[in-house]
Structure 1
């Protein structure tokens, strides 16, 4: 291949396909979104106007739900099923799972991610990946890394200290890569400490490849490429979408002058060729798949992932003889999936109202069941939520129903925690998350006890948003990770802040008891018994409580878990094997501080059993000079800016776009107030991308933020337009009118 051809191979052919070179035996393969089901858009040119038109596929519960199953085997089955459908539909790579940490409950894309805990997220993702790739189809774990907000996601800078980066935000990717061995990793849009992920050699080569052993392809998020020369050096292989020839000439010039070696391009080209050929070989042997069986798996997954948050007076399960009142629009139009690039066109859809019938009006009913939650315009890819509040009409519906009938149950559909001021007024709360296309059947089975709820929350539900440590500074253009390692339960535990429901909490229609805890070396054993009258599943959680006489640490951290199914009266001994990583902190490397570590085991975060103590000789970790007396020793409320700056070792200076210094990394939304030409372009782009869409919908808001909120380089890549057009307009926006016009009129054949 010529150098130009190899560079071309490292960019897609169009929006969804890789580039083919038949003369060299290199075929093209199709990629599509797929965290919880395929979104295959048959159009292969530029992105169609909407994101909701796609070929039918099974819509499994979103990660917000399946994470609550705490079931690695279940996630493996889902991954394998999606891979079967990918093979059936001719898809070589599907983009998922997403393992980004749920840092703040307002992140609009939290429904696509598993947990606030890195160990839980990583283990579930690893099983999903490993089983999905058994038939040869590739997965692409995303978004690497520190992509924890939708606001300004294309050019935000995640400013973070190294310990927090390693212990919290890289750990789920590390587990997914080491254990799942994905064939692809998607690099995120944002910067990390000033360096775009696509350009970040430390992230993509030193850590991902050299330290974790990743051998696959790094694919950009769509339009995430920054500097293609730096990206080749960093180990970023495939620029998507294709069709713009983004920085092709600049790369050729860099090789010619010796700034970039051809060998670095060869490495990326070889990795892409290997992935494409492996997938193409498998795609030649399509066997079809059983979509009906996948619908049943989606139902089972929804049942196993539901979390029973309240069950006063054992109001659930319902009895067949009871008169039930069904209340709320979501009974017939449940929220079963998120909005944005993961939106799936389901093969079939069963609503609660299809399988449940109202037998009374509210006042006359034995039990009133209210179906409520967040509508799609409240949470989506592309924008963050404005608050943790539910729509006022939904709250009013619950409160009015509860006032009329003391036996009220709420079935809740939402992709992230919400404030629940009504929780004390109802007797039962069943959290379904976003349960997928079989959600209606799952709801019926759970309400009537055909299925026993066994889910445990994979994230903390605060009482109010202001209780979150990052609430005071989230989101801003840059992600200020001031809270450090104190994310989710790590903060609430240490700050002793009361929450609505804790991480790891979930009720059942049966009961479980723990007995006979043992520690032998670093093997922990405990017996779990179903002491109730129904068969059910328990999630056994193991936490390590570290010593607190040195470097600051959380009260406890999840290190192991297992889901066990037991019949009434059945007992089973659960065994966990610990390793040094269970006790380690990051201090220029993984180190185990000396001291005594308490091992806690149980299924309820408020009733953990002390299994024993493990004493580690370890090593003495030097306490940072800024730690004594700081927020990080005794966190409460938002961490002060000055203390965070001491922790990261530098003064934080926010970026402000300024006329005269605008760059290709600035957006139309940022430049329009200071530039007439950008104001015109802003309105042109906004009108073009939203033509035919209803204002205020999730799709409309996403498309606006993904266009006028994108850097100019992103618009160039995704729009397939000549780079000189954007460079010319940029020069004009910066007041350099003659230079801008010359650039626009210049006919040099360059992109």
Structure 2
């Protein structure tokens, strides 16, 4: 067949795709698969190999002669990153790439609201589509194992069930716009220190029960179209081309039909990349930084070296064709899908979604004598203290940094809301400028800042201290873990000085991680406010004023001291490892599982969060007492709002089994439901659990095993606040 006939055949094929195939946003039908095969037959070996690796920092090549488009990717997961230069990490300085910044995924998880996750995904997908992106590099679902992990703010907490339920609607929302979500980082990427080489050793049971469920849900329930490999190793092999993870689990057991994309610089070997499931290689060369000719795109592991192995028959062309088939399938779902929308960006609806998620994710942890809400009509003097009241949190953090069209600071949000109040502001402490990969100390006089803040606090009726972390290096930031559990930049000392002159202090923590809180007994109130994106200040003011009643719940535990955390309790080989190997010695007892089972009381528990009203859970029961395998347990009851204002409560259902033949956590989250209840009102709740979901991963048979016998169902509104226990039996 000559070139002209090949081109004609491709054009006819593409025309038939458009007129005869409804390219479903969730799956590719048999006829479309046949068309993909016909396209593969038209491609040269060189063209197919070229599709398997980058041509720039964030794109892969198409095939010009056949009209096959490039694939364009963008960092996420909280917004579409500003445009990056073709060959380096500098920003392209476009004037039309400012976007809506959405709250960090820790905040989304804290809402315990899958409906909001769907709204998040839809809005973010619309912005990515408008920016002509085909793949959005997010969401992240790595499990919160240690509060020192620099990227915890990008993930969905410590519980695999919560992360699973929140990630699926996010993915569906993004992908309904014809943009592929790319769930990451697969798998066991639970720290930034030594992330490029640390070898993780973990039991099969912990792998399947703790670290894989959210990825599995993303693939099987969310039908995610792409997945990103991680930097670290697992059992001596890099995860991006790991035989167990990519071939056995992902592509065989879970039947993943999408594209595996490397993290930038996570590919290390041509043979393994070819044979162990990697489809598209990105960012190879000095951790993604192309620094010399030998590291440019044609010398990637899946570029010329891969081509040579194919020509020498060291690797079968069937291996290459499978990669190209997946890539074309991704295109049929995205940039070759004629039915996808045009997208939208920076509209009021997106800002409204960002503000709603931000406000609903804020967690009220202490509220002595109803310190909050603060009535905005009162003529009072409020001293706002802390750098985090004014510091931009959309920049920094590594690859998730954003170029927001606007970002309302907490201070500005309070000024917008409290028109009748006198608001004084003092910096109090300073962190220094943000710089990726290094810490730049502040040049400001710390003592002077402290003294100025104390003077302001002495004149105020109320002090609002905005502290916590930020997105500088070794805070909440990619590329480096935190160096300490306590608050940085002298915040503890500053708070103690403020309390000497004013005992009416409320603290608003800005962070994506737990921190040590030695001053908790001395402050009147505490809120965990996360990184909230474009509408940060407005959302915080909504909650402080009472316009929004807080309903967020912690998606991870706050230990009292660092060694109370499971990973840290076993010493350095558990975290951070010896720089070569690391052993997850806590096994399945991550987060609240550890605190519950070992009876180590946390400072704040998983699922904990207060409201401005009060609730009572009543009449909770199961539909019967005995169940069989693969049968639905129905837990039902009522939530009564016993307070004076409307509010929302999260009913949490945990399940535990005593007298098990294997080690188990005291209880594990297996269901939850968020319900809004009017003041004085009652709402019914029904939560369904399949008995198979109570199975443990049995290493003796390498499969799931449902034990017969008695189980306890715990119903409450936090992992440490259980109001009802129900005994059931599985036959």
What is the alpha-carbon distance in structure 1 between the residues aligned to residue 395 and residue 308 of structure 2?
A: 46
CA contact (8 A) 1:41 1:53 kept: no
Q: 1:417 aligns with which of 514, 517, 530?
A: 514
* 2:321 matched residue in structure 1: 266
Could you give the per-residue CA deviations for residues 724-745 of structure 1, whole angstroms, max 9, x where no partner exists? xxxxxxxxxxxxxxxxxxxxxx
Q: 1:316 aligns with which of 372, 386, 391?
A: 372
What is the alpha-carbon distance in structure 1 between the residues aligned to residue 482 and residue 212 of structure 2?
A: 25
What is the alpha-carbon distance in structure 1 between the residues aligned to residue 76 and residue 525 of structure 2?
A: 33
The alpha-carbon distance between structure 1 residues 285 and 466, as it changes in their structure 2 partners (threshold 3 A), is closer
Q: 2:497 aligns with which of 384, 400, 404?
A: 400
Q: 2:242 aligns with which of 200, 213, 219?
A: 200
* 1:604 matched residue in structure 2: 718
* 2:666 matched residue in structure 1: 555
Q: 1:119 aligns with which of 132, 139, 161?
A: 161
Q: 2:537 aligns with which of 419, 432, 440?
A: 440
What is the alpha-carbon distance in structure 2 between the residues aligned to residue 288 and residue 294 of structure 1?
A: 9
The alpha-carbon distance between structure 1 residues 364 and 198, as it changes in their structure 2 partners (threshold 3 A), is closer
DSSP-derived class of the 1:139 partner: strand
What is the alpha-carbon distance in structure 2 between the residues aligned to residue 395 and residue 589 of structure 1?
A: 49
What is the alpha-carbon distance in structure 2 between the residues aligned to residue 257 and residue 21 of structure 1?
A: 24
CA contact (8 A) 1:42 1:55 kept: no
DSSP-derived class of the 1:135 partner: coil
DSSP-derived class of the 1:14 partner: coil
Q: 2:647 aligns with which of 524, 532, 536?
A: 536
* 1:279 matched residue in structure 2: 334
Q: Quick check: 98-107 or 18-27, which moved more?
A: 18-27
* 2:452 matched residue in structure 1: none
What is the alpha-carbon distance in structure 2 between the residues aligned to residue 363 and residue 353 of structure 1?
A: 19
* 2:484 matched residue in structure 1: 387
Gaps of 5+ in 2: 1-42, 285-296, 416-421, 425-455, 625-632
Residues 357-396 of structure 1: matches in 2 within 5 Å?
A: 357=415, 358-359=422-423, 361-377=456-472, 378-396=475-493
Gaps of 5+ in 1: 618-751
Deviation at 1:2, TM superposition (A): 1.9
Deviation at 1:113, TM superposition (A): 0.7
Deviation at 1:14, TM superposition (A): 1.1
What is the alpha-carbon distance in structure 2 between the residues aligned to residue 487 and residue 337 of structure 1?
A: 31
DSSP-derived class of the 2:360 partner: helix
DSSP-derived class of the 1:356 partner: helix
Deviation at 1:51, TM superposition (A): 12
What is the alpha-carbon distance in structure 2 between the residues aligned to residue 331 and residue 81 of structure 1?
A: 27
What is the alpha-carbon distance in structure 2 between the residues aligned to residue 308 and residue 288 of structure 1?
A: 34
Tell me, yes or no, if structure 1 residue 492 matches structure 2 residue 548: no
DSSP-derived class of the 1:565 partner: strand
* 1:246 matched residue in structure 2: 300
What is the alpha-carbon distance in structure 2 between the residues aligned to residue 117 and residue 241 of structure 1?
A: 31
The alpha-carbon distance between structure 1 residues 75 and 203, as it changes in their structure 2 partners (threshold 3 A), is same
The alpha-carbon distance between structure 1 residues 479 and 325, as it changes in their structure 2 partners (threshold 3 A), is same
DSSP-derived class of the 1:437 partner: helix
* 2:127 matched residue in structure 1: 85
Tell me, yes or no, if structure 1 residue 516 matches structure 2 residue 627: no
What is the alpha-carbon distance in structure 2 between the residues aligned to residue 454 and residue 105 of structure 1?
A: 23
* 1:503 matched residue in structure 2: 606
Could you give the per-residue CA deviations for residues 613-650 of structure 1, whole angstroms, max 9, x where no partner exists? 22123xxxxxxxxxxxxxxxxxxxxxxxxxxxxxxxxx
CA contact (8 A) 1:334 1:413 kept: no
* 2:703 matched residue in structure 1: 589
Deviation at 1:270, TM superposition (A): 1.1
CA contact (8 A) 1:410 1:429 kept: yes
What is the alpha-carbon distance in structure 2 between the residues aligned to residue 338 and residue 425 of structure 1?
A: 32
* 1:94 matched residue in structure 2: 136
DSSP-derived class of the 1:269 partner: helix
TM-score by length of 1: 0.79
* 1:329 matched residue in structure 2: 387
Deviation at 1:576, TM superposition (A): 1.4
Could you give the per-residue CA deviations for residues 486-516 of structure 1, whole angstroms, max 9, x where no partner exists? 1111111111112110011000001111111
Aligned residues: 617
DSSP-derived class of the 2:147 partner: coil
Tell me, yes or no, if structure 1 residue 568 matches structure 2 residue 679: yes
What is the alpha-carbon distance in structure 1 between the residues aligned to residue 470 and residue 341 of structure 2?
A: 41
The alpha-carbon distance between structure 1 residues 50 and 465, as it changes in their structure 2 partners (threshold 3 A), is farther
DSSP-derived class of the 2:534 partner: coil
Could you give the per-residue CA deviations for residues 466-498 of structure 1, whole angstroms, max 9, x where no partner exists? 222322221132332111111111111111112
The alpha-carbon distance between structure 1 residues 444 and 180, as it changes in their structure 2 partners (threshold 3 A), is same
Deviation at 1:239, TM superposition (A): 0.7
Q: 1:110 aligns with which of 129, 132, 152?
A: 152
* 1:74 matched residue in structure 2: 116
Could you give the per-residue CA deviations for residues 83-136 of structure 1, whole angstroms, max 9, x where no partner exists? 100111111110000000011110111111111111111111111001111121
Residues 133-148 of structure 1: matches in 2 within 5 Å?
A: 133-148=175-190
What is the alpha-carbon distance in structure 2 between the residues aligned to residue 53 and residue 496 of structure 1?
A: 55
DSSP-derived class of the 1:442 partner: helix
* 2:434 matched residue in structure 1: none
Q: 1:163 aligns with which of 205, 208, 217?
A: 205
* 1:64 matched residue in structure 2: 106
Deviation at 1:285, TM superposition (A): 5.1
What is the alpha-carbon distance in structure 2 between the residues aligned to residue 390 and residue 469 of structure 1?
A: 20
Tell me, yes or no, if structure 1 residue 187 matches structure 2 residue 202: no
CA contact (8 A) 2:83 2:91 kept: no
Deviation at 1:229, TM superposition (A): 2.4
Deviation at 1:267, TM superposition (A): 0.6
What is the alpha-carbon distance in structure 2 between the residues aligned to residue 364 and residue 510 of structure 1?
A: 31
What is the alpha-carbon distance in structure 2 between the residues aligned to residue 451 and residue 560 of structure 1?
A: 25
CA contact (8 A) 1:26 1:277 kept: no
What is the alpha-carbon distance in structure 2 between the residues aligned to residue 84 and residue 179 of structure 1?
A: 21
Q: 2:66 aligns with which of 3, 6, 24?
A: 24
* 1:735 matched residue in structure 2: none
Deviation at 1:53, TM superposition (A): 11
DSSP-derived class of the 1:44 partner: coil
What is the alpha-carbon distance in structure 2 between the residues aligned to residue 25 and residue 95 of structure 1?
A: 25
Tell me, yes or no, if structure 1 residue 482 matches structure 2 residue 585: yes
Q: Quick check: 70-79 or 395-404, which moved more?
A: 395-404
The alpha-carbon distance between structure 1 residues 29 and 199, as it changes in their structure 2 partners (threshold 3 A), is closer
* 1:132 matched residue in structure 2: 174
Could you give the per-residue CA deviations for residues 695-714 of structure 1, whole angstroms, max 9, x where no partner exists? xxxxxxxxxxxxxxxxxxxx
What is the alpha-carbon distance in structure 2 between the residues aligned to residue 542 and residue 209 of structure 1?
A: 32
The alpha-carbon distance between structure 1 residues 194 and 73, as it changes in their structure 2 partners (threshold 3 A), is same
CA contact (8 A) 2:331 2:337 kept: no
CA contact (8 A) 1:337 1:435 kept: no
Tell me, yes or no, if structure 1 residue 229 matches structure 2 residue 271: yes
CA RMSD of aligned residues (A): 2.0
Tell me, yes or no, if structure 1 residue 292 matches structure 2 residue 393: no
Q: 1:9 aligns with which of 39, 51, 68?
A: 51
What is the alpha-carbon distance in structure 1 between the residues aligned to residue 356 and residue 394 of structure 2?
A: 15
The alpha-carbon distance between structure 1 residues 158 and 53, as it changes in their structure 2 partners (threshold 3 A), is farther
* 1:429 matched residue in structure 2: 526
Deviation at 1:49, TM superposition (A): 7.4
* 1:615 matched residue in structure 2: 729
DSSP-derived class of the 2:718 partner: coil
